[in-house]
Chain A
Amino acid sequence: MIISLCNVTKEYSLDEETVITPIQNVSLDVKQGEFILIVGRSGSGKTTLLNLVAGLIKPTSGEVLIDNHNLRNMTDTQLSSLRNRRIGFIFQFPSLLPSLTVLQNVILPTTFSSRRRKPNAHKRAADLLQMLGLGERKRAYPRQLSAGEQKRAVIARSLINEPEVLLADEPTSDLDERTEQETMTMLRETHATGVTIVMVTHSTELIPYATRAFKVEDGALLDITADFFGK
C-alpha cells in the first residue's frame, strides 16, 4: 500500500473567530514496508496527521491518496472497508471495549464485515494473544489488565485482519521503560513481516526503530531522518 499526502492542510474552528491549523501544506509519501516515525510535542498535530491518513477526518485542502485512490471521493462504506481490511490502529488512549473480554476485543474487527469474516478468526486471535504473552489472560476483561497488557491486547487487535499498514498513536505512552521496549520490539517484529508502520510519538528516543523520521512543528512536517541516521 502506498500512502500519499499532497499539500494537506487541516483547520479546526474553535469559534467564529478562532481557527487553528495543526497541519499546514504537508506532503508525504509512504512506501510499502516502511517504518515511519513522526515526533512532535503534545498538541503539535501528530494525531491529526494519523487521522487524515486513516480517513477519520477530511483535509481542509489537499489530498490524501491510498494506492492512488483519493480518500475524499470514497463513500463511508469504502472508507470503513479500507480501515477494516487494510489498516490496523493502535490508539493513544485505552481503547479496548470494557464490556468485552480480551479475546472478544481482538476478534471484534473481524465482525464488521460478514463478507470478510474469517472462519479461523477465533484461533488467530488466540494465537496472537499467545504470541504477545496474553494467552492466559484472554478471558479477562480490560479492567483486569495492566496498562502494558492492555497495550499488547490492542496490538493483537490491530493485527487480527492482517493489515498492510499499522497506524500507531503514541503506543508507548504511559508505559514503563521495560514495557515500552517490549512494545517497540513487537512493532519491529511486525514491521519485519512486511507491514508498513506509521507511528507518532513525542519521544525522539524511539527514532532508531524507524526507517524514516519526521518532526511536526508549527503545522509543517520536517524530515529529520538525516539528523539521526546520518543519511
Chain B
Amino acid sequence: MIGLALKNIKGNPVRSLIIFLCILGVAGLFVSITLIVRGADNSLHAGLDRLGADIVVVPEGAESKVETALLMGKPTDIWMSADYAQKIAAVPGIDSVSPQIYLQSLYGASCCAVSEMFLLVFDPATDFTITPWLQRNLGRGLAKGEVIGGRYIFVPPGEKDIRLYGYHLTLRGNLEPTGTGLDQTMFFTLETALDMANSSLTTAESPLVIPPNKISALMVKVTPEADAHAVSLQILRDVLGVFPIESPNLFGAFRHQMLGLLWVFLIVLILVWVLSTLLIGLIFSIVVNERQQEIAVLRALGATRWFVFRSVLFEAVLLAFAAAGIGVSLAAFTIYILRDSITNSLEMPFLFPSFSSIMTLLVVVIALSLITVTVAVFLPAFRISKKEPAVAMRE
C-alpha cells in the first residue's frame, strides 16, 4: 500500500505539491505563532523569576517606564526617596525589601551587543535578585569594581575589562538568558555605582549622576502566609507617592497586547486551516473521480473497500506527514534565525523554547496535520470505497 501511495503521489506532482504546500503552510504558520507566543511567555516567566519579587514598588506614575526598562532594557531615569524602603518594610505581611537604582550607559557602549545599556544597582545587604545567583556561582558577593552581565554583556575584544563612564569594571559572569531587557543589563553594587559616579566627574564625557538618598524601585517579598494582593492593597492605602505592581501583573500592558495579537493570530490560523482542509478535500474529490476506473480495477482484482479507503487516506497521510515535518523544521529554524529581529521589530521579549518543547510541538503539529487530512479526505475516500466497481468502471 505504501508503494502504491508513493507512486500515486509521484504520478501527479502538481496536485501533490498543492496539498504539500497547504499542509506545510498551515503547519509552518501554527508553529511560528506558537513559538512566538511561547517565546514571549517563556521570556516573561524567566524575567519574573530573575527579579524574584512578589511586588515591585515604583514611583507613582512611573509604572510603564519601569516595565519598559525591565522588559526591553530601555534605560530609564526614575527616582523616589530611599525612605520609602522603611515605610514599605513597616507594612504588615512583608518579609523583605530591597532597593534598586536604575541607571543608563552612555550611547554606543563598546562592551555590549546593544547600543544602549540598562544598569541595575542593587544593595547586597538586602538583595534577593542577584545575590542568590552570586552565591551559587561565585560563592561570594561582588566586590567594588565587579559586575555581572545579562546574556548580551561581554568584554570588548582586545580589552581586559569593561569601561563605563571611564571606570574599569571586571565582568565576573553572565546570567542565563531571559529574553527580556535583563539580558542587556549590567548588575553591580551601590558601592561600585557611587565609585563610578565619583570617577566619572573626571574621566567621562558626561558624568554619572546618582542623586543622594534616592532609589528607583523597591523589590518586595511577602511572608509565606501573606497574600501578595492584600499586601499590595495595603501599600497603596498606607504609603502615598508609590505604586505597587504585583508580580503576576508586571508587564500587564504587554500581556494585554500579546493577548490581542494572539486572538488575531488564532483567527487567521483557523481561517487558513478551514480553507486548507476544504481545498485538500476538494482536490481529493477530483482525484478519486479521475481515478475511479483505476479504483474499480483494484476492487475487481480483489481489493476490499477497506483497502481502497485506506490507500486513498494513506496517500494523504504520507503527504501530511512529510509536509508537517518539513513545515515545523523550517518554521522553527526561521524563528530561531530571526529571533533577534522579532524582539526588535515586534518590541517584545523572546526566549527561544527548549529543544524538548520543539519536539513536543513537532509531534502535536504532525498529529494535527494527520487529523486535518483525515477529516479532509474521509468523505471522498469513503464515497469511492462504497461505490460499486461495475458502476465506477462504466462512468
Contacts and interface: CB of A to CB of B under 8 A. Distances in A.
Contacts, number: 70
Interface string B68-94: 000000000000000000000000000
B390 interface: yes
A108 B301 CA distance: 9
Given A51-B390, A99-B7, A112 B293 contact: no
Contact of B300 (A83, A104, A113, A161): A83
A112 B393 contact: no
Contacts of B261: none
Contact of A56 (B8, B293, B388): B388
A100 B301 CA distance: 15
18 contacts: A48-B390, A51-B390, A56-B390, A57-B388, A57-B390, A57-B391, A76-B304, A76-B306, A77-B306, A83-B301, A89-B301, A95-B297, A97-B7, A98-B11, A98-B294, A100-B7, A112-B304, A112-B307
A97 B297 contact: yes
Interface of A: 48, 51, 54, 56-57, 76-77, 80-81, 83-85, 89, 91, 93, 95, 97-100, 104, 108-109, 111-113, 157, 161
Nearest to B291: A97
B132 to A, nearest CB: 63
Contact of B301 (A98, A99, A157): A157
Given A93-B293, A93-B393, A99-B8, A80 B388 contact: no
Contact of A85 (B1, B11, B302): B302
A204 B11 CA distance: 40
B7 A80 contact: no
A76 B305 CA distance: 7
B59 interface: no
A95 B3 CA distance: 18
Interface string B274-310: 0000000000000000000110011111111111000
Interface residues of B, number: 25
A163 B393 CA distance: 22
Nearest to A94: B293
Nearest to A109: B301
A56 B301 contact: no
B303 to A, nearest CB: 5
A95 B295 CA distance: 10
B160 interface: no
Contacts of A112: 298, 301-304, 307
B302 A80 contact: yes
Q: Which of B294, B299, B300, B302 has the most CB of A within 10 A?
A: B302
A118 to B, nearest CB: 14
Contact of A83 (B1, B293, B302, B391): B302
Nearest to B8: A99
B46 to A, nearest CB: 53
Q: Interface centre among A56, A81, A100, A157, by most B CB within 10 Å? A: A56
Interface in B323-381: none
B383 interface: no
B168 interface: no
Nearest to B301: A109
Nearest to A77: B304
A109 B298 CA distance: 8
Interface in B1-57: 1, 3-4, 7-8, 10-11
Contacts of A77: 304, 306
B181 interface: no
Contacts of B3: 104
Contact of A99 (B1, B10, B297, B393): B10
Interface in B134-178: none
A32 B300 CA distance: 21
B315 to A, nearest CB: 11
Given A51-B390, A99-B10, A99-B11, A89 B300 contact: yes
Contacts of B1: 111
A106 B302 CA distance: 13
Contacts of A99: 7-8, 10-11
Contacts of A54: 300
A21 B1 CA distance: 38
Given A97-B4, A112-B303, A112-B307, 5 more contacts: A48-B390, A93-B293, A99-B8, A104-B3, A112-B298
* Closest 5 pairs (CB-CB, A-B): A84-B302, A99-B11, A99-B7, A51-B390, A80-B304
Contacts of A104: 3, 7
A80 B296 CA distance: 12
B99 interface: no
A141 B303 CA distance: 22
Nearest to A98: B11
Nearest to B10: A99
A81 B301 CA distance: 9
Nearest to B394: A47
Question: Which of A77, A91, A97 gathers most chain B CB within 10 Å?
Answer: A97
Contacts of A56: 299-300, 388-390
B350 to A, nearest CB: 46
Nearest to A52: B390
A229 B323 CA distance: 65
A108 B304 CA distance: 13
Nearest to B1: A111
